[in-house]
Amino acid sequence: MAVLPFALFATLLAASSALGASSRPNVLFLVVDDLRPKLGCYGETNMVTPNIDQLAAKSIRFDRAYVQQAVCSPSRTSFLTGRRPDTTRVFDLVSYFRKVAGNYTTLPQHFKENGYITQSVGKIFHPGSASGKTDDYPYSWTFPAYHAPTKKFTGKKICPEPDGKLTHSAVCPVDLKTVPGGSLPDIQNTDFTIEFLKNRSMDHEPFFVGMGYHRPHLPFAYPKKYLDLYPLSNIHLAPNPYYPPWLPEVAWTAFKELRKYDDIKAMNISYPFGEIPLPYQLKLRQSYSAATTYTDAQVGRVLDALDKFGLADNTIITFLGDHGWQLGEHAEWTKHTNFDIAVRIPMMIHLPGVTAKPATQGKMFPFRDAFKHSLEFQPEAYGTNQSFSRPNLSEKGLSSDALVEAVDFYATIAELAGLDVPSTCPNNSFHVKFCTEGASLVPIIKNLTMTSQDDDVRKRMTWKPAVFSQYPRPSVHPRLFTDDVEEEEDEEEEEGEGSQTSSRGRTPIRIMGYTMRTEEHRYTEWIAYDLKTYTPTWSKVYARELYIYSSDPDEDVNVAKVPAFQDLATSLSQQLRAGWRKALPYPTL
């Protein structure tokens, strides 16, 4: 592993206090909707993601990073406020933390209040009533949030069928020449961000720009050329495409979000346990990959612009998915569960001069075209079409396998930029504007980048033994499909029509599934929850799950009821109930 000079890092940390405002680091905060770590840089050699791989090679990549709830708004609200869903009281796609919980200072707001220009582009907060119908402007942002003009077509029939008919389908490769508006939201949002960066390069004020990509969220609408990278003959099914034995139904999602699309509806898949036909599972997996490469290209354009406008050497770049995504694993689709595959995300942090050597000739992030034969190609890696870019397996950046959480991001970014770092929230923090329920990742970053004389510090370092997530349910069994007020609403519909959302009301939550991942295990309890008083009742347990990674890495066999594991389950239950506070890496209040 390369050891980089720590002095530069210290300089970066000291920048805001020691030097003038103009040398304060900028922040490019990249968030990708529904992106699980299905990326070349996470070892998925079938994936063509050359730009994100390049960012990873110049960043610290977190290999075991988890969100606090596997659905957009609760997850985003959590990492943007630095607090967990129980404290934001946002478990659905409707509630706004400022209304239901407290007037918390968000991460972009913290930058704004410290003299930064802050801008939201695309999906950073969940739009609509979940962010006060303004994407939390003006609290969080200097300017109103930007949304691409073509966003309004997302819920519309834009997918051409072979007979020319247009549908609103999950699988939706399009021709940019004929698609309404002549473009797609992520392309237009990227254009805006590039113009924003250009403007910033001229006025020299520090900025925080949140760039939120929509794909690979459903519908998989992307320029059809990306399908060429993923011939169906190369696509495989999930290794475990069946309902896990001994899985309590409360743990399962019936993937309503997917069932609403025309192509899926036409298959008459029985509710709630009917399976997507195998050939269509392959098509969905193919399109998830194609939509990911399309997003990779837009990420590449933004990174390339940082170079072009001379901003790369003073900009911290962060990258994260808002939760994972099930592609047929456990016969499930979408997110909305507590499985590892739904809560684990890609997460990386690039610190100029620290996680990568300064660029030669100002080119830190030259754009990489997925379709061009490139130096990255490794014949042994595989791929039938040798003209496509493949991950360069020897091109590795720094990485950490520490158990980390998206809620840790707030304190981390604040510390890296030299702003005040929030301290740990007290038990009841609804009236505390500035505090966090995460922990700064800076000790891990230092541990990776420090030089060898600091070995002593390194040995003494401890980190969290466990990470925590949760997911609510209205009932023990999946409810009728016609029962519309649900936790699994179609997010795209919502994004377009915030007012419709609020009229639907809040999800009738009666159960909360609290889950914990440790080194060796995942342990989950589904317990009674009163939404009126926001009170969990730990004595009323509906179901438990226990997975043992050494023998069951894909969480296929729930052994919570196996007699031999009762002592283990009991001790994990105590650890889960003690919660995140007991798992903090250093003593706190």
Ligand X SMILES: *[C@@H]1O[C@H](CO)[C@@H](O)[C@H](O)[C@H]1NC(C)=O
As annotated, the active-site residues are 72, 126
Spatial contact of 370 and 19, defined as CB atoms under 8 Å apart: no
The crossing angle, in degrees rounded to 10, of helices 442-449 and 6-18 is 140
Q: Is 481 in the site for ligand X (CB under 6 A)?
A: no
Which residues, in sequence order, are bridge partners of residue 521?
548
Contacts with ligand X in 224-243 (CB under 6 A)? 228
Distance, CA of 135 to CA of 149 (rounded, Å): 16
| Closer to ligand X by Cβ: residue 192 or 271 | 192
Q: Is 564 in the site for ligand X (CB under 6 A)?
A: no
Q: Is 141 in the site for ligand X (CB under 6 A)?
A: no
Distance, CA of 215 to CA of 148 (rounded, Å): 13
- Contact mark string toward ligand X, 397..426, x via CB under 6 A: ---x-x------------------------
DSSP 434: S
* Other beta carbons within 10 Å of 537: 11
Spatial contact of 38 and 326, defined as CB atoms under 8 Å apart: no
Retrieve residue 42's tokens: 């996470």
DSSP 553: T
Stretch that binds ligand X, among 67-75, 194-202, 467-475, 520-528 (CB under 6 A): 194-202
Stretch that binds ligand X, among 64-72, 331-339, 387-395, 541-549 (CB under 6 A): 387-395
| Closer to ligand X by Cβ: residue 375 or 564 | 375
Q: Is 559 in the site for ligand X (CB under 6 A)?
A: no
Retrieve residue 484's tokens: 């519309």
Spatial contact of 126 and 76, defined as CB atoms under 8 Å apart: yes
Retrieve residue 556's tokens: 């296929």
| Closer to ligand X by Cβ: residue 400 or 515 | 400
Question: Minimum CB separation from ligand X for residue 371, in Å?
Answer: 6
Among the listed residues 233, 394, 503, 533, the single contact to ligand X using CB under 6 A: 394
Among the listed residues 461, 528, 548, 584, the single contact to ligand X using CB under 6 A: 461
Distance, CA of 293 to CA of 298 (rounded, Å): 9
The crossing angle, in degrees rounded to 10, of helices 409-416 and 442-449 is 60
Retrieve residue 335's tokens: 């997110």
Q: Provide the CB-side half-sphere exposure for 346 (13 A, CA).
A: 27
Question: Minimum CB separation from ligand X for residue 108, in Å?
Answer: 12
Residue 81 DSSP SS3: helix
| Closer to ligand X by Cβ: residue 145 or 312 | 145
Q: Is 453 in the site for ligand X (CB under 6 A)?
A: no
Q: Is 427 in the site for ligand X (CB under 6 A)?
A: yes
Question: Minimum CB separation from ligand X for residue 392, in Å?
Answer: 4
Among the listed residues 11, 176, 192, 504, the single contact to ligand X using CB under 6 A: 192
| Closer to ligand X by Cβ: residue 387 or 500 | 387
Residues contacting residue 428 through CB under 8 Å, at least 6 positions apart = none
Among the listed residues 6, 280, 371, 549, the single contact to ligand X using CB under 6 A: 371
| Closer to ligand X by Cβ: residue 6 or 463 | 463
Which spans of this chain sit near ligand X (rule: CB under 6 A)? Answer: 103, 105, 192, 195-196, 199, 228, 267-268, 371, 375-376, 385, 387, 392, 394-395, 400, 402, 427, 433, 444, 447, 458, 461, 463
